Amino acid sequence: MKQVLVVGGGAAGMMAAAVAAEYGARAFLLEKQSRVGMKLSITGKGRCNLTSAEEERQRFIAGYARNGQFLFTALNAFSNLDLIRFFQEHGLDCKVERGQRVFPQSDRASDVVRVLYKNLEQLGVDVNKSQGVKALLFQDGKAIGVQTQKGKVLADAVIIATGGMSYPRTGSTGDGYRWAATAGHHIIEPRPGLVPLVVEESWVRELQGLSLRNVRAIAWSSKGKKINEDFGEMLFTHFGVSGPIILSMSRDIGEELLRQEKVRLVLDLKPALNEETLDQRLQRDLALYSRRQFRNSLDDLLPRKLIPLMVRLSGIDPQKESNQVSRQERKNLLQLLKEFELTVLATRPIDEAIVTAGGVDVKEVDPRTMQSRLVKALFFAGEILDIDGYTGGFNLQAAFSTGYLAGKNAALLYG
Q: Residue 117: phi, psi to the nearest 5?
A: -70, -40
Task: Kindly state whether residues 344 and 328 are assigned to the same domain.
Answer: yes
* 169: pLDDT strictly greater than 90: no
CA distance 204 to 236: 7
pTM, rounded to two decimals: 0.91
Query: Does an H or E element contain 389, and which?
Result: strand 388-389
Task: Kindly state whether residues 254 and 289 are assigned to the same domain.
Answer: yes
Residue 170: per-residue pLDDT = 85
Which residues, in sequence order, are bridge partners of residue 289?
Answer: none
pLDDT in tens, 61-95: 999 988 999 999 999 999 999 999 999 999 999 99
Mean pLDDT of 292-311: 95
Q: Which of 301, 324, 348 is the last residue of a domain?
A: 348
Mean pLDDT of 123-140: 96
Task: Kindly state whether residues 314 and 383 are assigned to the same domain.
Answer: no
Q: Provide, rounded to the nearest whole percent, the portion of the chain with pLDDT above 70.
A: 100
Check if the beta carbon of residue 390 is closer than 8 Å to that of residue 245: no
Q: Which of 348, 372, 396 is the last residue of a domain?
A: 348
Task: Kindly state whether residues 122 and 182 are assigned to the same domain.
Answer: yes
Q: Provide, rounded to the nearest whole percent, the portion of the chain with pLDDT above 90.
A: 93
CA distance 120 to 250: 35
CA distance 28 to 4: 6
Q: How many domains does the chain fold into? A: 2
* Residues in CB range of 89: below 8 A, 6 or more apart: none
Task: Kindly state whether residues 52 and 38 are assigned to the same domain.
Answer: yes
CATH number of the domain to which 174 belongs: 3.50.50.60
CA distance 200 to 270: 23
pLDDT tier, 278 (very low <50, low <70, confident <90, very high otherwise):
very high
pLDDT, averaged across the chain? 95
Task: Kindly state whether residues 186 and 206 are assigned to the same domain.
Answer: no
Task: Kindly state whether residues 239 and 327 are assigned to the same domain.
Answer: yes
What is the torsional sign of CA 12, 14, 15, 20? positive
Mean pLDDT of 101-105: 97
pLDDT in tens, 187-209: 999 999 999 999 999 999 999 99
CA distance 406 to 389: 19
Task: Kindly state whether residues 60 and 176 are assigned to the same domain.
Answer: yes
Half-sphere exposure of 6 toward its Cβ, with a 13 Å CA cutoff?
A: 41
Task: Kindly state whether residues 112 and 174 are assigned to the same domain.
Answer: yes
SS3 state of residue 149: coil
Task: Kindly state whether residues 109 and 139 are assigned to the same domain.
Answer: yes
Which residues, in sequence order, are bridge partners of residue 342?
Answer: 265
CATH number of the domain to which 220 belongs: 1.10.8.50
Q: Say if strands 3-7 and 157-160 run parallel, antiparallel, or are unpaired.
A: parallel
Residue 415: per-residue pLDDT = 59
Q: Which domain holds residue 214?
A: 196-348
CA 14, 77, 387: angle at the middle one, nearest 5? 65
DSSP string, 318-382: TTSBGGG--HHHHHHHHHHHH-EEEEEEEEPPGGG-SSEEEEE-GGGB-TTT-BBSSSBTEEE-G
Task: Kindly state whether residues 256 and 164 are assigned to the same domain.
Answer: no
Task: Kindly state whether residues 70 and 132 are assigned to the same domain.
Answer: yes
Mean pLDDT of 98-116: 96
Q: Which of 348, 363, 385 is the last residue of a domain?
A: 348
